Amino acid sequence: MKTYLILAIIALSGICFVSCDVAYLSPDPSVSLTIDQAFGDPEIFQTYINGIYDEHGDSAYLTRLLPSQDVRGGDVVLIPTNNFSRYIIEYQFIESPVNSYVSGNLWFQAYDVIGLVNPALAALPEADFEADLKAGIEGELLTFRANALHDLVRNFAQPYSAGRDNLGIVLNTAVLTADDDPLGRSTVGEVYDQIVADLTRAVAVMPAGYNDASKITLRAAHGVLARVYLDMGEYALAAQNAELAHAGMTLMGTEDYQAGFAAPTSEWIWYNGKTADDSNGFLSTHSFWDTRRLGYSSLRMDMTFMDNNFTSTDIRGYSLLRAAASGDPLVSTAYVSNKLAHNAGFVQDELIMRASEMYLISAESNARLGNNTAAQTALFAIQSRADVNAVMSTNTGQALIDEVILERRKELYAEGHRYYDLQRLQLPVVRTTEGGHWSSQAGTIPFNDFRRISPIPQFELDANPIIRPQQNPGYGS
Amino acid sequence: MTAKKLAILIFTLVSFAGTLQAQSIKGVISDAQTGELVPNANIFLIQLARGAAADLDGAYLIENVPSGEYTMRISYIGYETIEEKIIVRNGDLIKNFALSTDFQGLEEVVITAYGNQKKKAVTGAATSVGKQIIEARPITNVADALQGVAPGVSVSSASGQPGGGVNIQIRGAGSINASTQPLYVIDGLPVLNINGGNSGSSNTMSLIDPNDIEDITILKDASASALYGSRAANGVILITTKRGRKGSVKVDFRAASGFSDIAVEQHQTINASEYFGLYFQDVYNDQISGGASPADAATAANAGAITALQANPYNTAQPFGAGGVLNSGAALLYDTNWRDRVVSRGQTQDYGLSVSGGSERTTYYMAASIFDQEGILPGSSFQRGSTRMNVETRVTDFLTMAFSSNNVFSEQLSSPGGGGANNPLRFANLTSNVYPFFARNAAGEIVNDSRGNPLYNYNTPTVLDFHPVGLAEVDQFMQQQIRSINNMSTRFKATDDITLRSDVSFDVTNVQDRVYENRNHGNATPQGGRATRSYNRFTVFQVSNTANYNKAIGEHTIDLLAGQEYYSERRDFLEAQRTGFGNNILRELDAATVPTVASSSFSERRIISYLSRLNYGFRDKYFVTASVRRDGSSVFGAGNKWGTFGSVGASWSISDESFMDNVNFVDNLKLRASWGTTGNDNIGFYSSLGLLGFSSAFDYNGLGGSTYSQQANPDLKWEVNESIDIGIEFDMFKNKLSGEIVYYTRDTNDLLFDRPIPVSTAGFSEISSNLASIRNSGLELALNYTVASTKDLVWSVNMNVTTLDNEILSLPADDPIQSGTKRFEEGQDRYAWFIQEFAGIDAETGQATWFRDVLDAAGEPTGEREAVSNYAQADRYNLGSSLPDFFGGFGTNVNYKGFDLQALFSFTIGNTIYDNTYADITHMGAQPGQQLHRDVLANVWTPGSTTATLPAFGINENAQFTETSSRFLFDGDFLRLKNLTVGYTLPASVLKVIKAQRLRVYVSGENLLTFAAHEGLDPELPRSGISNNIFPAARTITAGINLSF
């Protein structure tokens, strides 16, 4: 019996000795592949592209970027209660390297997207896609990178209009790893050159005819390029690309307009798609614009702006606002807007770009180029859709430009554009208590105030010695 | 003839021959108090330097004893050591001994890794906590029993959630990203300590019934723990459960019941009229300075306050008149003290029954228990049912088999919001008294539902729609765990000197979360209700084979161990979620309409180990221990999977030297020193790989998504802890005073750390790395003094104190690494705060200010500092540390006739804590509806004030104050009466009547008193020192009975 027992024990020990090889100590993960498997198989490659769309639509990127722009633009008022202090920092222009959304999440998320794009772009030439599909993917990736760089450079650097030689942002187009040396800031000019190069290549290679606006299409690439050229003062190219972006599209009707921007319409060029099992819920932009206290319900329209700029027949004016019932605390401070009405469960697609913006880029660019008729026509397309009584503008020169800029405020409010316009046009932020702003925040913040540009976030400064001495002026460390 | 038979024959012959020349001594060892036989006691003839161990029946036999006069020493863990002079001549001597229970912690044998050892032979740092310490107090979690009783061990409750987690650090935290929790080993099996879950905080150690525990030994340095090598970097907690003893059946029954409330009074806040008044006054002052008449100003201010607060606690819309005087007839409708309404009295019940005993060949211990606790926050509770069986049988005279099995079911309910922003305590701390508990109509009357029950008021703007009591009635945050720990051990005595042992163990834990968030209020309102079910299964399978060679040759004793182990840990996870419920009655997924989550994953870690240890003793005075262990772990890069760890230690029993013979006041004196290394692989299972992660979280618009989730680091390797321990242990004045003084260092090299990298470069902000070196070092002192030891009175006092220094020895680059509110910098303490420094209130403007460096023309600091009122411009500075200078405990045990009293205090001195709650409730008007501290009534800036500690009050006027700064750092010193127990054991005369062996009744209180330098929160915080409205510790008072027959 003892002999058998000894044998049994030795046998038991042997089980392990036999299996003690490298394979035994290298179990495979069950929900991950190794990264070198990502680009060999087209189907896996496609999931990787889908993952970039998801990252772009993250509640920390797109759907927080839009309100954080609007609360700084002057036309939007922030109600600070019951939203866990979101946007309070940006609204008050008290960002610091450690406390704000813009300097934190945007920096992180946009570079995350760029970090996803770069290895895919490098691997794409070898990938086993059909030529058409491959060209489309190249365009998507390039547009993602250009759009992320554009988001970054407009928040962390002086506008292009203030000079090409100002410090821009980190320009990263290579496949870098933790072992590579950190990069410092390029100039604004170098960053815009890269954005233009990416987008020019994108529109050159992308096939036409794809119209799924939940993806980056040729239209969307042209649209981003139009925005970029507008920043750069390249008005002919801006107008040309804006028109290519909306060519053949129908502006949404007034019924769609008044139903709220919760689902794609005929004029949506690019949006981030959401589904019931994959939405940003309470953190969606619409939750902050909610009028019924189902979401965070934190954003309101400046009352002076709404009172003074819309005719009574303008569908974007009072008819989009919730009627002011007496004693309702929600409307006592400023106006609630139904423009970003939400769906059940806050499951709604997040708008990134629509044709109306392209009409207005075209209008502004043509006005600046002196093409008055083209400008007036494009402007009228927007004005007449909003107001049945609208009359084609006869303004020219600066008056026409001013009219277009005002139309941008009216047409695009709550879509994250106004603050970028103030930067591009080097205008002050103006807020009044009459409009509903906090008394402490009433007043003017001139263009040259250091707070108009976000600080490079502390975590970047801490991890990157090259950028550490390159903080934007005015901020501590 | 087999070898065994031959051996027996030879042995018999030798024994027979021996009796011709010398005699034998034999007898039985029993318990002086109970009369029970004590198995396994050590009997030692000092002059012959040899002895024997008693068998399971308490019987011992020492043969071949020449005639003469000897000193016999009888010792056993948990009992007082006896030394007695005997004379042997003319034949065998029968000598029985009765051991008394040891109240002075003088245990002679220490349970160690893979065996046990005489205390004086132990070369490493091992502290034993006997069952008396555990048994006297009713505790839920084993870890609670360790607080304040063992030097070098710091314990903090992660939360007061019933069944919640407990953090233990042994000799400081060596790791930053890898776990700093010690390894738990129960009866030889390393068990998983799983914290967390979807529905709240849980901790698998809370599944062990403390009453099943015979002994807890804490292994603190590498010499003691090296044999657990790969997972012992943070120390080891060795738990030995109770075994049966041969003899009559013993039945133990216990019952206890108690209640609990919040242990520490929270911040003092202001009442509804004060709160309303502040907002009224702010608008009123604005109006007056704007030129309004007092009457108009009052009207506007009443309206303004009501608008800002979205509530009016008064019976009139115009509560205040000119000058802020209460109008006649105006009265408060309510003044809601949310903490009183949310925090309620908890209840505890505990019942246990165990049966133990044994026959010639077999001993057994069987136990079952039920524990039921209702927490102090709404909806929180914990129930545990546990069974254990330990059986050991001698199959043949050379083969012993033991089986132990522990099965537990637990159910934990957490409050809605758990640890998140909506947790009930945060709600209660942050919601002003101006909001009603029940919903009220425009006339101020309470609104009832159709059945006449009052509706809760969910309109509380600070945390809107999260009434904690209301949610607790309809939401469900349940975690159920089923755990089964099983171990089959085979011991095979191959020869007299060689024992082979094989253990096959598995530890399976099923953790099942059931979460329902209702459709009407709270988080899941927009989705129309949400239910989540998740199933986690953790499986540990381990095979351990060891061979032991044990031999005494003359004055030399050799104990050599060699072994091999195989360990695998698997995690299997499944989760499903649906939203869209039609009612709040049915909460299962089938009752919902929209599928939102379905996910699963599986992960595994594997370790292969080879181990060896030599214990060598010479003349029972000089001892050396050396061990080596080689581990291969699957979590590291291909070329770095294997690590080799080892230790060397020595001890010297000075009191056994002849030159000490005349030093009568010293009973025992031992010097020990050791060095050793242990490894840590406690990081993500696939941390070295570059990963393309797939998850529904990366899906886009209905299309499957993946993402580059982790950059590869093939160089990732073992984190290595290198420890040095030098100690003196002593017993003096006839064992009245005993204690130890220890100096230790613990260097962690190749520290596993998620190194921050610039996201702008690689798209990642961190990468798993072997980064830095950190040293934890300090002194440990433990003393125990027996004040009196008479027949009627046994009284002892004890204390222990630990100093802990932390220093970052090296970082990969010269640059410090910022991590939250701390900064890692060479030569600095890793717990040092590095945040903005508050510079006081600007006497001119009433604004908060912070410091920044004054820079010269070249942009370099001049050494001067200036105060700025824009927080964005402030610089960060080193501002103290959340690491205490020292911590420890002291206590006393008194037994007077039948009465016993135990008191235990714990303390922490010299740390700084960050009080987030205080920041939240000094928002100075910026957050209308959010509660305010009483300080705002007295210390607020007003024009001309120079002594203000808070900025000017104003609605939406002053958001810059509550930003992270030294303003909210406070002294963290505290002293806590951790436990006070008073018991009475009935005298034997009474027990005879009721045919019982023992009957004790007691009352015990946990966390009875807390004295803290900074009041308003529980000072027992995690090491990070940041308070965050965590579930507060409970003060519990329990009455119970222990009955044995």
Q: Using the beta-carbon criterion (under 8 Å), do B702 and A115 form an inter-chain contact?
A: no
Domain ranges for chain A, please list them: 36-207+439-477, 211-252+265-272+311-326+333-338+350-414
Give mean pLDDT, residues A73-85.
82
Residue A309 pLDDT grade (very low, low, confident, very high; cuts 50, 70, 90) = very high
Q: Is residue B107's pLDDT more than 50?
A: no
CA distance B596 to B530: 9
Mean pLDDT is lowest, of A301-310, B149-158, B357-366, B657-666, for B149-158
Q: Is the pLDDT of residue B9 over 50?
A: no
Q: Please check the confidence at residue A21 and state whether its pLDDT lies above 70.
A: no
Using one digit for the tens of pLDDT, what is the confidence trace for B980-1019?
999 999 988 888 888 888 899 999 998 899 999 999 988 8
Q: Which of residues 141-160 of A touch B (CB under 8 A)?
A: none
Name which residue leads in pLDDT, A8 or B534.
B534
Q: Is the pLDDT of residue A323 over 50?
A: no
| DSSP letter (8 states) at residue B208 | S
| A32/B608 touch (CB, cutoff 8 Å), yes or no | no
Angle (deg, nearest 10), helices A355-369 and A235-246: 150
Instruction: Select the residue of A27, A50, A344 nearest B606 (Cβ to Cβ).
Output: A27
Nearest to B566 among A16, A44, A84 (CB): A16
Is A170's CB within 8 Å of B963's CB? no
C-alpha span between B519 and B586 (Å, rounded): 12
Q: Assess contact for B901 and B795: CB atoms under 8 A.
A: no
Alpha carbon distance B121, B622 (integer Å): 8
Strand order in the sheet with B969-971: B969-971, B912-915, B1026-1027
Rounded to two decimals, the pTM is 0.79
Ramachandran angles phi, psi of A384, nearest 5°? -75, -30
pLDDT for res B149: 74
Q: What is the β-pairing status of strands B691-694 and B666-680?
A: unpaired
Q: Which helix or strand (DSSP H or E) is residue B78 part of?
A: none
Chain B positions in Cβ-Cβ contact with residue A12 (cut-off 8 Å) = 502, 504, 543, 545
φ, ψ for residue B986 (rounded to 5)?
-65, 145
The answer, yes or no, to whether residue A19 has pLDDT greater than 70, is no
Among A79, A98, A151, the residue to mutate for chain B (most B Cβ within 10 A): A98
Q: Does A40 touch chain B (CB under 8 A)?
A: no
Q: What is the CA radius of gyration of chain B?
A: 33
Least confident of B133-137, B145-149, B397-401, B411-415: B133-137
Give residue A16's pLDDT.
45
**Torsional class of A474: left (φ above 0), alpha (ψ -120 to 50), beta (otherwise):** left
Q: Give the range among A136-140, A265-269, B12-16, B203-207 with minimum mean pLDDT.
A: B12-16
Residue A373, SS3 per DSSP? helix
pLDDT at B101: 65
Tell me the chain B residues in contact with residue A462 when contact means C-beta distances shorter than 8 Å.
Answer: 756, 815-818
Q: Which range among B380-389, B816-825, B945-954 shows the weakest confidence by mean pLDDT?
A: B816-825
* pLDDT tens track for B1017-1044: 888 887 888 886 667 788 889 999 989 8
Burial B619-653 (b: 16+ CB within 10 A, else e): ebbebbbbbbbbbbbbbbbeebbebebbbbbbbbb
Write out chain A residues lying below 8 Å of B927, CB-based: 80-81
Top residue of B426, B761, B768, B833 to mutate, by most chain A CBs within 10 Å, is: B761
Q: In this complex, do B502 and A9 lie within 8 Å of one another by their Cβ atoms? A: yes
Cα–Cα dist A413/A261, whole Å: 12
Nearest CA distance, A162 vs chain B (angstrom): 24
B593: tokens are: 């309409």
Tell me how far CA of residue B320 lies from CA of B288, B297, B325, B928, in angstroms: 15, 10, 5, 19
Q: How far away is chain B from the Cα of A315, in angstroms, using its nearest Cα? A: 28
Task: Sort out which chain B residues have CB atoms less than 8 A from A54's CB and list them.
Answer: 697-700, 705, 707
Q: What is the pLDDT of residue B80?
A: 73
> How much is the pLDDT for A430?
96
The pLDDT value given to residue B165: 65
In this prediction, residues B715-739 reach a mean pLDDT of 90
pLDDT band for position A276 (cuts 50, 70, 90): confident
B310 → closest Cβ in A27, A329, A439: A329
Contact call for B691 and A34, based on CB within 8 A: yes
How does the average pLDDT of chain B come out, rounded? 85
Is there a common fold for A36-207+439-477 and A211-252+265-272+311-326+333-338+350-414? yes
Q: What is the pLDDT of residue B19?
A: 41
**Mean pLDDT computed over B628-637:** 89
> Following DSSP, what letter does each residue of B11-61 receive, concatenated?
HHHHHHHHHHH-EEEEEEEEETTT--B-TT-EEEETTTTEEEE--TTSEEE
Q: Do B700 and A463 touch (CB under 8 A)?
A: no
Q: Please give the mean pLDDT across all residues of chain A.
A: 89
Candidates A19, A20, A28, A47: best to mutate against B (most CBs of B within 10 A) is A47
Retrieve residue B468's tokens: 């904690």
Count of beta carbons in the 10 Å neighbourhood of residue B1044: 16
Residue with tokens 């100003």: B297
Average pLDDT over residues A18-24: 60
**Nearest-Cα residue of chain B relative to residue A46:** B705
Chain A residues with CB-CB distance to B704 below 8 A? 47, 50
Record: contact A176-B4, CB cut-off 8 A? no
Choose the closest CB to A278 out of B564, B696, B959.
B696
Please give the share of chain A, as a percent, with pLDDT higher than 90.
62
Percentage of chain B exceeding pLDDT 90: 34
Q: Is A476 on the interface with B (CB under 8 A)?
A: yes
Whether A47 sits inside 8 A of B765 (CB atoms) is no
**pLDDT value at B763 more than 90:** no
- Checking if the pLDDT of B177 tops 80, the result is no
Residues of B in contact with A35 (CB under 8 A): 690-692, 708, 711-712
Task: Check CB contact under 8 Å for B756 and A96.
Answer: no
- From the number of C-beta atoms within 10 Å of its C-beta (0-12, 13-18, 19+), residue B444 rates as middle
Inter-residue contact B65 to B24 (CB < 8 Å): yes
Q: Identify the CA nearest to B136 among candidates B251, B263, B254, B258.
A: B254
State whether A183 and B704 contact (CB < 8 Å).
no
Domains located in chain B, CATH noted: 17-102 (2.60.40.1120), 126-250 (2.170.130.10)
Of A15, A108, A346, the CB nearest to B765: A108
Closest partner CB to B564 (pick from A16, A30, A344): A16
Q: What is the pLDDT of residues B267-295, one digit of tens each?
A: 999 999 999 999 999 889 888 988 889 99
- Residue A32: per-residue pLDDT: 84
**Confidence band of B21 (pLDDT split at 50, 70, 90):** low
Query: Considering only CB atoms, which chain B residues are within 8 Å of A295?
Result: 526
pLDDT value for B11:
43
Q: Is residue A378 pLDDT above 50, yes or no?
A: yes
pLDDT in tens, B448-480: 988 989 999 988 887 888 899 999 999 998 989
* A459/B765 touch (CB, cutoff 8 Å), yes or no: yes
Question: What pLDDT does residue B172 have?
Answer: 73
Residue A345, classed as helix, strand or coil, is helix
Mean pLDDT across B163-190: 75
Fold of A211-252+265-272+311-326+333-338+350-414: 1.25.40
3-state secondary structure of A215: coil
Q: Which residue in the set B565, B603, B767 is minimally distant from A29, CB to CB?
A: B603
Cβ distance of B692 and A32 shorter than 8 Å: yes
Contact B690 A36 (CB under 8 A): yes
pLDDT in tens, B39-83: 778 888 878 877 787 877 788 888 888 888 888 888 776 677 788
pLDDT above 60 (res A402): yes
Residues of chain A found within 8 Å of residue B713, distances taken between Cβ atoms: 178
Q: Please report the ipTM that was assigned to this predicted complex.
A: 0.86
Chain A residues within 8 A of B959 when measuring between CB atoms: 80, 88-89, 92, 94
What pLDDT digit, counting tens, does each position of A24-73 carry?
788 888 878 888 888 989 999 999 999 999 999 998 899 889 999 999 99
Q: Which residues contact B231 (CB under 8 A, 6 or more apart)?
A: B183, B190, B679, B680, B681, B682
Q: Where are the alpha helices (DSSP H) in A344-417?
A: 355-369, 372-386, 397-412
d(CA B973, CA B541): 43
Question: Which residue of A24, A53, A115 is in closest CB contact with B700?
Answer: A53
The more confident residue out of B493 and B191 is: B493
Q: Tell me the chain B residues in contact with residue A183 when contact means C-beta distances shorter than 8 Å.
A: 758, 760-761
pLDDT digits (tens, 9 = 90+) for B899-944: 999 999 999 999 999 999 999 999 888 888 899 999 998 888 888 8
Question: pLDDT band for position A335 (50/70/90)?
Answer: confident
Chain A environment of B702 (Cβ under 8 Å) = 273, 275, 278
Nearest to A115 among B527, B633, B762 (CB): B762
Find chain A residues with C-beta within 8 A of B547's C-beta.
Answer: none
Distance between CA atoms of residues B7 and B13, nearest Å: 10
Chain B residue at shortest CA distance from A287 = B526
What dotted CATH number matches A36-207+439-477? 1.25.40.390
Residue recorded with tokens 């709040």 = B584
Q: What are phi and psi of B265, to 5 degrees?
A: -65, 135
Nearest to A29 among B399, B686, B699 (CB): B686
Q: How many Cβ pairs within 8 Å bridge chains A and B?
A: 315
CB contact under 8 A, B760 and A467: yes
List, as one string, the DSSP characters of B633-697: ETTS-GGG-EEEEEEEEEEEEGGGSGGGTT-TTEEEEEEEEEEEEEEE--S-TTTTS-EEEE-GG
The neighbour count for residue B807, using CB atoms within 10 Å, is 15
Selected residue of B302, B495, B760 to mutate for chain A interface (largest A Cβ count, 10 A): B760
